[in-house]
Amino acid sequence: MPKADHWENVYRNKKFDAVSWYAPHLGDSLRLIEQLCPDKTAAIVDIGAGESTLVDDLLNHHYLDLSVLDISSTAIEFTKQRLGAQAAQVGWHVGDVTQYDFGSKKFDLWHDRAVFHFLTDPVARQVYVELVRRSVKPGGYVLMATFGPNGPLQCSGLEVVRYDDQQLHHVFGDNFQLMGSELTEHHTPMGTDQQFLYCWCQVSH
């Protein structure tokens, strides 16, 4: 099944708060974004946002230049409807991150929670890194959240790749300066815990 069809089926057939990656608020993401980009005019993109409330929280924290990408148009439409009139303040993008181009748009911060670990093909990972390199301003930040070393081996019926901070940084390479990392536990709606690695780096000038 093509990737887009897989994720459309997930978002059409499961309630927004019944998927394993659901959290009422992405508190760790929000905290780290505010640390890295306190400037409310910073251009921020959320990759694979799905139906998460991070964009709501960023709007409520008065960020002014927000973009959202997801492979599922169903997820994007759900989030737009939830935001109501505020949706007009966000740049919406539907597409596969490994086949996407933001054109002339450049970001101060790239946020990805739980997309990159689905890229099991090394070529797809390199395409992703190249897109980051093209899309993030020199001196900008990349904030990644993947399954950690003790995280699940599968998610949503798909194989995943688990990372520690050195492994993840190695995929991105020397153009990205590792600034910090932390391991967190995500409590799923099913009552289980998943280990996530948060890792953030700065794009070389």
- Show the domain range for 110: 3-12+24-203
pLDDT top residue among 16 and 39? 39
pLDDT above 60 for 56: yes
120 in a structural domain: yes
77-136: pLDDT as tens digits = 999 999 999 999 999 999 999 999 999 999 999 999 989 999 999 999 999 999 999 999
**Predicted pLDDT of residue 178:** 97
Q: What is the DSSP string of the chain?
A: --HHHHHHHHHHHS-TTSSTT--S--HHHHHHHHHH---TT-EEEEET-TT-SHHHHHHHTT--EEEEEES-HHHHHHHHHHHGGGGGGEEEEES-GGG---TT--EEEEEEESSGGG--SHHHHHHHHHHHHHHEEEEEEEEEEEE-TTS-SEETTEE-----HHHHHHHH-TTEEEEEEEEEEEE-TTS-EEEEEEEEEEE--
Q: How many domains does the chain have?
A: 1
| Domain-embedded: residue 18 | no
Position 19 in a domain: no
Percent of the chain with pLDDT over 70: 95
pLDDT tens figures, 12-25: 777 766 676 667 78
**Predicted TM-score (pTM) above 0.85:** yes
Let me know if residue 158 belongs to a domain. Answer: yes
